[in-house]
Amino acid sequence: MVGTVKRTPRKSDLSRLLTEQPNPAAADLDLKPSLELARVINREDAKVAAAVRKALPQVARAIDLAASALQRGGRLIYVGAGTSGRIAALDASECPPTFNTDPRTVQYVMAGGPKALGAAVEASEDSRELGEQEIAKRNPGKNDVVVGIAASGRTPFTIAAVQYARKRGAKTIALVCNHGSPLEQAAHLAIVAEVGPEVVSGSTRMKAGTAQKMVLNMLSTGTMTRLGYVYGNLMVNVHLKNEKLTERAASILQRAAGVTKDVALQALKDAGGLPVALVMLQAGVSRAEAATALKGARGHVRRAIAAARKSLRGTSQPFGRAVFARSGGKTPLK
């Protein structure tokens, strides 16, 4: 897991991988009626969560590495090709609207570039040179975490990118679905979700892709939770770019601060954003005081609330009076 791979795996290695083996449970798949076909796929999909569960200690370590990097101003950078790259792109693209992060905070590098998201450009994955060139454009360093994603663990583009990032001081993680792969050996940490043979032999967009999506869900959500962008289990850093998200933010404030919908909507308007509004309501402070507390807490909402409350205790203003008045007597989330 800690060594550096010096060779590109031979193409003949592919046939030995577990994800490339025929699946006996899906024999004669083309002869089955639609309902039975769906049942076969569903039964196989049910095995994915168990495979991911075995890798949870490594997922937790990855969350800690990513949270630490982002706290230092670093980045989380996904690298992949084909299905793996598209899943990486999806997860990275969902972070700004979900957690209001800078688009540069969680990034993806895709073999074949953005055009490969909607069209097959799979030949690019065989090039180590392209892998190095693409990750070099991001200038990875000691404050970054680079995650290489490949079901086989043998994709030259991804291996080369991870090796390049590691040489330049970045922490590196491999997300694979086969044990003992070159990508696993290239990274500091490996998350291995061994899902077994696919229903359609070798079609790793199926169980392997589902496992990758589950792990990236955990990694990005866990990281943002550690950074304080989740309060309780509420999405308190959501970006208010449309009516649906504003309604969701008001609902979050109602639950978190124990206020009415009218009060929540007014607080959002007064604060200019959900985190500031929540600190204002929970701590009973002004917009400026809430903003200062959030800045001091580096955006960590729970810590900002605690800091604002502590600051308020040092003044003559009675704690909680503003919260109670705004809430109509409802009890806020602790």
Residues with a known catalytic role:
94, 125
Encoding tokens for residue 302? 């729970």
CA angle 246, 250, 251 (to 5 degrees): 115
How buried is residue 24: exposed, middle or buried, by Cβ count under 10 Å (0-12/13-18/19+)?
A: exposed
> Which are the contacts of 287, defined by CB distance < 8 A and separation ≥ 6?
270, 271, 272, 276, 280
Q: Cα separation of 95 and 108, whole Å?
A: 12
Between CA 105 and CA 147 the distance in angstroms is: 13
Collapsed DSSP state (helix, strand, coil) of residue 269: helix
- The label of the residue with tokens 């009076």 reads 321
State which H helix or E strand residue 106 sits in: strand 106-110
Tokens of 211: 């496992």
Between strands 171-176 and 145-149, the pairing is: parallel
